[in-house]
Amino acid sequence: MKLTLRVWRQKNADADGAMSTYEVDGISPDMSFLEMLDVLNEQLILSGEEPVAFDHDCREGICGACSLVINGDAHGPERTTTCQLHMRSFKDGDTIDIEPWRAAAFPVVKDLVVDRSAFDRIIQAGGYITAPTGSAPEAHATPVPKADADFAFEHAECIGCGACVAACPNGAAMLFTSAKINHLNVLPQGAPERETRVLDMVAQMDAEGFGGCTLTGECATACPKGIPLMSITSMNKEWLRATRKAAKR
């Protein structure tokens, strides 16, 4: 396959960026999208140009590092991560636009690399269960109904890639935040911190400069792990419940 790539190039956080056009040839349909970029980068290095910087690590769809907007879609046309997208999803002669995640809370670091540390700070605000090592009771002391365990797992699957934010026209982090809140709040172990968790995490999400939710559903469509839009509804419910409870105290 022969492809034309239009790639966002930006020297650093402060520099202005622009799309640059490159041609790549000899692309196999079995290559992953990132392997195709590897081909481009090998080509660039040999011609003395700087290769395109992009985040990637596990290349098996679980670490959440890869983060490209391909032809306007976060992670490209398939419902998966960029690293699990294969070139068989494209045609010979295609022109492909590759851009970084766009959101005020995710400033571009270089080329296609963005800073997602805002996500870490949202987790730090309350996305945990306080259980210092050594304090744990016997694992079978508290049975968890299978339905709750499955609900928790479904939301715990979030890989923190940020595709939800990238796809959201408002740059909102509702789906990411709600996934963690739902994972922990449904479990009996998470109950003692149920209210503070949702209030603090939502407050931190706002403080990071993410937008609000207009329920366009773009986030859930882009999510490579299929976190459902209803996750946000459940979080809203938790938030209202916590706000009422806090008011009573």
Partner 1 sequence: MARTVWDSTVGKKTVMAVSGVIMLLYLVVHLYGNLKVFFGLQEIDDYAVWLRNLGQPFMHHMWTIWLTRAVLVVAVVAHAVSAYQLSRRDIEARPSKYVHKKPRATYATRTMRWGGVILGLFIVWHILDLTTGTVHPGGFQDAHPYENIVDTFSTWYGNVIYIVAMLALGLHIRHGFWSAAQTLGVGSRTRDRALKATANVLALLLTAGFISIPVGVMTGLVS
Partner 2 sequence: MTSYLEYTTGEPVVDTKAPAGPINERWDKRRFEAKLVNPANRRKQTVIVVGTGLAGGSAGATLAEQGYRVVQFCYQDSPRRAHSIAAQGGINAAKNYRNDGDSIHRLFYDTVKGGDFRSRESNVHRLAQISVEIIDQCVAQGVPFAREYGGLLDTRSFGGVQVSRTFYARGQTGQQLLLGAYQALSRQIAAGNIEMHPRTEMLDLIVVDGRARGIVARDLITGKIDTYFADAVVLASGGYGNVFYLSTNAMNSNATAVWRAHRRGAYFANPCFTQIHPTCIPRTGDHQSKLTLMSESLRNDGRIWVPKAKGDTRQPNQIPEDERDYYLERIYPSFGNLVPRDIASRAAKNVCDEGRGVGPGGQGVYLDFADAIRRMGRKKVEEKYGNLFDMYERITAENPYEVPMRIYPAVHYTMGGLWVDYDLQTTIPGLFAVGEANFSDHGANRLGASALMQGLADGYFVLPATINDYLARHPHRDEVTDDHPVVQEVLAETEDRLNLLLSVDGDRTPDSFHRELGELMWEFCGMARTDEGLRKALDRIPQIREEFWRRIKVPGTGEELNQSLEKANRIVDYLELAELMCLDALHRSESCGGHFREESQTPDGEAARKDDEFGYAAAWEFTGTGEAPTLHKEDLVFEYVHPTQRSYA
Shortest Å distance, C-beta 247 to partner 1: 4
- If contact means CB under 5 to 8 A according to the sort of partner, which of partner 1, partner 2, none does residue 16 touch? none
Identity of the residue, 52 or 220, whose beta carbon is nearer to partner 2 in the bound complex: 52
Tokens of 108: 């571009």
Identity of the residue, 85 or 172, whose beta carbon is nearer to partner 2 in the bound complex: 85
- If contact means CB under 5 to 8 A according to the sort of partner, which of partner 1, partner 2, none does residue 60 touch? partner 2
CA angle (39 as vertex; 38, 40 as ends), nearest 5: 90
d(CA 101, CA 66): 10
Identity of the residue, 14 or 248, whose beta carbon is nearer to partner 2 in the bound complex: 14
**Contact at 8 Å (CB) between 207 and 154?**
no
- The secondary structure of 167-198 as a DSSP string is H-TT-B-HHHHHHHHHHHHTSGGGGGGHHHHH
Residues in contact with partner 1 by the rule CB under 8 A: 6, 8, 19, 69, 71-73, 97, 99, 102-105, 167-172, 199, 202-203, 205-206, 209-218, 228-230, 232-241, 243-244, 246-247
d(CA 122, CA 124): 5
- If contact means CB under 5 to 8 A according to the sort of partner, which of partner 2, partner 1, none does residue 22 touch? none
Shortest Å distance, C-beta 127 to partner 1: 16
Identity of the residue, 111 or 218, whose beta carbon is nearer to partner 1 in the bound complex: 218
For residue 114, what is the DSSP state? E
Q: 3-state DSSP helix/strand/coil percent for the chain, to nearest 5?
A: 40, 15, 45
